[in-house]
Amino acid sequence: MTTGHSVSRDMRQVVVSAGRIDVVRADVPQPGPGQVLVRSVLAGVCGSDTHAAAGLHPWISLPYVPGHEVVGVVAETGGGVSSPEPGRRVTVEPYLPCWNCKQCLQGLENLCENLGFLGCGDPQGAMADYFTVDARRIHVIPDELDDRAGALIEPLSTPVHAVRLAGGVAGRTVAILGAGAIGLLLLRTVVSQGAKRVVVTAPRDERRQLALALGADAAVDAFAPDAVDQVRTALGESADVVFDCVASESTIRQAIGMADKGGTVVVVGVPSGEVRLPLQLVQDRQIRIQGSATYLREDVVGSIELLRSGVVRPDDFITSVVPMESVAEAFEQAASPAHIKVLLAITPDGTR
């Protein structure tokens, strides 16, 4: 085992239970063969975290240890790990594949048939002083990205993956349903890739104005009774690709109406339950419904490049940094429309 500095054997860890969010004491995990021990610096509060805390996430049961969007520092390495070495600043691909199933052997680790997920039902999460993870899940953060930018690598990877699954957007008309953190990151992604026109829908005027400031050609009230017609008018045609970042029954119906004949609907958001589809329209209009599940390593690399190039700027997205002791407040802020991306500072002031 290689260590960067002395590691305490007692740590803090966030635990989300029904109706409460606590910081508890726990033992520091030990890195096994092929693993690294990471000391957390910043952890993002994801929409999946707030949905799980409210009992609305379909795959996360309470209680659970949250945290999958992380900037940290390698503290120790287990046997057989030579890279990354202790002291390196890293982020994590938090899904945990088995590496042996049919999907993993095809390079589709995000679709692993035995998938685990750090911070989403796994015994460990990044909202803790330390966690261990397979070294193959680690990405070194480039020196030119500060910690706030590093905290956006994981959430930005989701839109990068979704756009790739859609077949790219260059020269195509795009509608984005939802202007939360993922929807707005997706907006910057499609603008950077040369979409012909982009329209965003959101129920709050503040988010629609922000979407316009971040490059949308138009923004439409998601609750307007003629929202579908407004989007098609603003695009000048039906949408080639619709990204549904909400994934409710109403938004998927809107998406199908916007895409119309031959269009693609990419489901990016996580629905809280079953959603009925107007399947007769999907069939008759030859609409492609494409699910998008997390990302792959190449998408993380693409995310890093978007941050490096300044296409995505942390100041446009990070609206609050909250100390770990106030984690319940961080979750409240993240669930509020007043905030886009809330970070939890695991170390004092989120410093290394």
> 158-291 maps to which CATH number?
3.40.50.720
3-state secondary structure at position 167:
coil
Number of DSSP helices (H) and strands (E) in the chain, helices first:
12, 18
What's the pTM value of the predicted model, to 2 decimals?
Answer: 0.93
Domain with CATH 3.90.180.10 in the chain: 2-152+312-350
d(CA 196, CA 38): 42
pLDDT at residue number 260: 84
Residues in the chain: 352
In this predicted structure, the answer to whether residue 215 has a pLDDT above a threshold of 70 is yes
| pLDDT confidence band for 236 (50 / 70 / 90) | very high
Who wins on pLDDT, 54 or 133?
Answer: 133
> By C-alpha distance, which of 129, 132, 156, 153 is closest to 141?
153
pLDDT at residue number 285: 95
The verdict on whether omega for the bond into residue 33 sits within 30 degrees of 0, i.e. cis, is no
> By C-alpha distance, which of 124, 195, 117 is closest to 154?
117
pLDDT at residue number 144: 96
For residue range 299-325, list pLDDT tens digits in order.
Answer: 999 999 999 999 999 999 999 999 999
pLDDT at residue number 50: 92
In this predicted structure, the answer to whether residue 348 has a pLDDT above a threshold of 90 is no
Fold entry, domain 2-152+312-350: Quinone Oxidoreductase; Chain A, domain 1 (3.90.180)
pLDDT at residue number 4: 53
**Mean predicted confidence (pLDDT) in 20-25:** 96
Domain with CATH 3.40.50.720 in the chain: 158-291
